Amino acid sequence: MRRATGLDDRLVSRLESIVGSEHVRTSAGGVAPYARDATPLFHRAPDAVVHPGSTDEVAALLRLATETGTPVVPRGAGTNLCAAAVPLRGGIVLVLTRFNQILEISAAELLAVCQPGVANATLGAAAAEHGLLYAPDPGSRSVSTIGGNISTCAGGLRGLKYGVTRNYVLGLEVVLPTGEVIRTGGRLWKDVAGYDLTRLLTGSEGTLGVITEATVALLPLPAYAACGVAYFPTLADAGRAVAGVIGAGIVPATLEFLDNRCINAVEDYAGLGLRRDAGALLLFGDDGDPERVAAHLARISDICLSEGALDCTTAKEVAESEALLAARRCSLPALARLGPMAILEDATVPRPRLAEMVDRIDAIAERHDVVIGTFGHAGDGNLHPTCVLHPEDTDAIERAHKAFGEIFRAAMDLGGTISGEHGIGASKLPYLAERLGTAQLDLLRRVKTAFDPAGILNPGKLGS
Ligand SMILES: Cc1cc2nc3c(=O)[nH]c(=O)nc-3n(C[C@H](O)[C@H](O)[C@H](O)COP(=O)(O)OP(=O)(O)OC[C@H]3O[C@@H](n4cnc5c(N)ncnc54)[C@H](O)[C@@H]3O)c2cc1C
C-alpha cells in the first residue's frame, strides 16, 4: 500500500492501537477525500484519517497528538464553506461520523441529547416524530452534522424568528486537546455557574475542543407553515418591504431574497415559474396557528404591494410552499451551473442596509469583471454573494479574491461583519483583524492557548 503519511510508523501504530486499524486510513487514496471541504481553492491532504468510536478514544487520540505535536482537524460532513475543515498543516483528520446516535428526546424537558455525527435533518425528523422542532436549518441540513453546526454556529432559513444554532445549545461534552473531558452546561434552561463555555465553544470551528455529545433545546412543532413570494423592480424596493414588515411588528419565520441573476439561474435550473423580469424576489413564510399564519402572510403581501411589488402571491397548498422554499434552497446549485466553480461567500449588514450592500456588490463585481449573483437571508441582513468562474482561469480567481476583499470591507463599512454564519476558517482569516481589532484578536489567541497549549487543534485557523 502506498502511504501518503508524513507520520512515522510508530505513531500510526499507536493510532491503530487506540481505534483499531480498520478505523485509520493512511493511503493516498484513503486520505484524498479529506483534503477538501465545500470551499473551492483550499486543499491539503492529511497524513492520516481517523474515525474514533468513543469519547475515550477521542481523549486518547488528542493526548497522543498533544504529546507528539501532531495537528488534528475535527470533521463532520465536510460541508463548510470557509475551509474550516481543511487540514492546512496536514496531520490527522478526526472524523466524527461514527458518533451517529440520538441518545434521547425529551418532550417533557424540550431537549435532545445526541452525538455530534448525527445529521441536522435526522435530528429534525426524529424531533418531529415527538411533535417537536429542532429549529436551526442550514441549507446543508440533509448531510451537515450537529457537531459541525455547533462548531460553526450554523444559521439557516428560519434564523429571523428562531435564531441560530447558539440559541439551542444547552450543554456539551467536549474533549480538550490535552485529553481532559469536560461537560459544559447541561439539561438546565437556567445555569449561570461560571463563564459560559458552551457559548464560547459554539462557533469555535474545531479549534478549542472536540465535541463528543450535545444537549440541544427543542420547541413544540408548529401546527402549520406557509409561504408567499413577492417580485420587485429593484432590491431597494424589496429592502423597504423588509423594513416595513419588521416595523409592523411581524417577525416571519422566513424572509429570503434572490437578486435578478439568481432568479434567472434558479428558473433555468428548476423551472419553477419564477418571474424573470423582476429585479428581486422576496420569499416570505411563517409558521404556527393557521389563522395567525394566514393573517401574517396577508399583511406581508399588503406591505410588499404598498412598497411597489410587481406581483405577490401566497401558496395555497403545502406543496406550493415547498416549491417556493426550493427556489431559495437551490440557489447555490443553480448558480453553480453558470460556471465550473462557484465561490459562495457570506457577509452580514444591518437589515436596513441590505439593498445598499447589494448595490455595492454589483458595482464591485462590475469593476473587477467577475460574475456575482447574490441571495440570502433578507430578514437577518445576511447575504451570500456567489462568484462563478473557471478554476483554471487564474486571472479571474485573482480578480474574484480582490472583489471579495472589497465586499467584506464594504460590509464592515456599513456596520456589518465578514461572516454571518459560515465562519472564519482559513478563507476569512486575513480579514479578521480588521473586524475584531488587535486587542480582541490577542485575547482570542490567549483563549486558544488556554484550551490548546500545544496548538494542535485545527492550526492555522481561529486563534492562530
Ligand atoms: C449547499 C450548502 C448549503 C449550506 N447552507 C448553510 C446555511 O444555510 N447556513 C449555514 O450556517 N451554513 C451553511 N452551509 C455551510 C455548512 O453546511 C455549515 O458550516 C455546517 O455547519 C458544517 O457542518 P459539517 O458537519 O459539514 O461540518 P464540517 O464542514 O465537517 O466542519 C465544520 C467545522 O466544524 C468543526 N467540527 C466539525 N465537527 C466537530 C466536532 N464534533 N467537534 C469540534 N469541531 C467540529 C470542523 O473542524 C470545522 O472547523 C452550507 C453548505 C453547503 C455546501
pLDDT at residue 425 greater than cutoff 50: yes
Q: Which of 290, 371, 104, 311 is closest to 213 using CA atoms?
A: 104
Give me ligand 1 centre to Cα 144, in Å.
Answer: 6
Identify whether the C-beta of residue 267 lies closer than 8 Å to the C-beta of residue 274: yes
Pairing of strands 382-389, 371-377: antiparallel
CA–CA separation, 437 vs 421, rounded Å? Answer: 20
Binned at pLDDT 50, 70 and 90, residue 100 comes out as very high
Cβ–ligand 1 distance for 264 under 6 Å, the answer no
Q: Show me where the domains of the chain are located.
A: 9-95, 102-220, 224-330, 339-413
C-alpha cell at 277: 423580469
Q: Which CATH class is domain 9-95?
A: alpha beta
Q: What is the per-residue pLDDT for 441?
A: 96
CA–CA separation, 131 vs 112, rounded Å? Answer: 13
Q: What is the per-residue pLDDT for 417?
A: 97
CA–CA separation, 242 vs 257, rounded Å? Answer: 10
Establish whether domains 224-330 and 339-413 are of one fold: yes
Place of cell 411581524: 250
C-alpha cell at 130: 415527538
Q: Domain 339-413, what architecture?
A: 2-Layer Sandwich (3.30)
Cβ–ligand 1 distance for 75 under 6 Å, the answer yes
Candidate of 152, 173, 375 to mutate for ligand 1, largest count of ligand atoms within 8 Å of Cβ:
152
Q: Which of 89, 31, 91 is closest to 62 using CA atoms?
A: 91
Which stretch of 216-230, 252-266, 317-331, 414-428 has the lowest confidence by average pLDDT? 317-331
Which stretch of 211-220, 354-363, 433-442 has the lowest confidence by average pLDDT? 354-363
C-alpha cell at 455: 496548538
Q: Give 115-141 pLDDT, tens digit per residue.
A: 999 999 999 999 999 999 999 999 899
Q: Give 391-415 pLDDT, tens digit per residue.
A: 899 999 999 999 999 999 999 999 9
* Measured CA distances, 243 to 163, 387, 463 (Å): 18, 27, 36
Give me ligand 1 centre to Cα 103, in Å.
Answer: 21
Residue nearest atom 27 of ligand 1, based on CA coordinates: 148
Give me ligand 1 centre to Cα 386, in Å.
Answer: 18
Binned at pLDDT 50, 70 and 90, residue 272 comes out as confident
Cβ–ligand 1 distance for 52 under 6 Å, the answer no
Give me ligand 1 centre to Cα 461, in Å.
Answer: 15
Candidate of 34, 75, 165, 383 to mutate for ligand 1, largest count of ligand atoms within 8 Å of Cβ:
75
How high is the mean pLDDT of the chain? Answer: 94
Rounded mean pLDDT, 177-194:
95
- Report the nearest atom of ligand 1 relative to the CA of 333: 1
Give me ligand 1 centre to Cα 326, in Å.
Answer: 20
Kindly tell me the burial class for residue 154, based on how many C-beta atoms sit within 10 Å of its own C-beta (0-12, 13-18, 19 or more).
Answer: buried
pTM for this structure? 0.95
Q: What is the per-residue pLDDT for 340?
A: 86
Binned at pLDDT 50, 70 and 90, residue 327 comes out as confident
Give me ligand 1 centre to Cα 442, in Å.
Answer: 26
Q: Print burial letters for 375-405: b (CB count within 10 Å at least 16), e (below 16).
A: bbbbbbbbbbbbbbbeeeeeebbebbbebbe
Q: What is the per-residue pLDDT for 270?
A: 87
Within 307-353, residue ranges assigned H as helices are: 318-329, 331-336
CATH 2.60.200.20 correct for 224-330: no
Binned at pLDDT 50, 70 and 90, residue 338 comes out as confident
Q: What is the per-residue pLDDT for 3?
A: 53
Give me the percent of the chain exceeding a pLDDT of 90.
Answer: 86
Q: Give 282-292 pLDDT, tens digit per residue.
A: 999 999 999 99
Rounded mean pLDDT, 255-266:
92
Cβ–ligand 1 distance for 420 under 6 Å, the answer no
Q: What is the per-residue pLDDT for 2?
A: 46
Binned at pLDDT 50, 70 and 90, residue 210 comes out as very high
Nearest-5° Cα angle at 359, 275 to 395 = 100
Which stretch of 50-64, 119-133, 227-241, 310-324 has the lowest confidence by average pLDDT? 310-324
Q: What is the per-residue pLDDT for 134?
A: 98
Cβ–ligand 1 distance for 332 under 6 Å, the answer yes
Cβ–ligand 1 distance for 156 under 6 Å, the answer yes
Q: Give 222-239 pLDDT, tens digit per residue.
A: 999 999 999 999 988 998
Sign of CA dihedral 4, 80, 174, 435: positive
* Record: fold of 102-220: 3.30.465
Q: Give 372-397 pLDDT, tens digit per residue.
A: 999 999 999 999 999 999 989 999 99
DSSP states along 222-234: PSEEEEEEEEESS
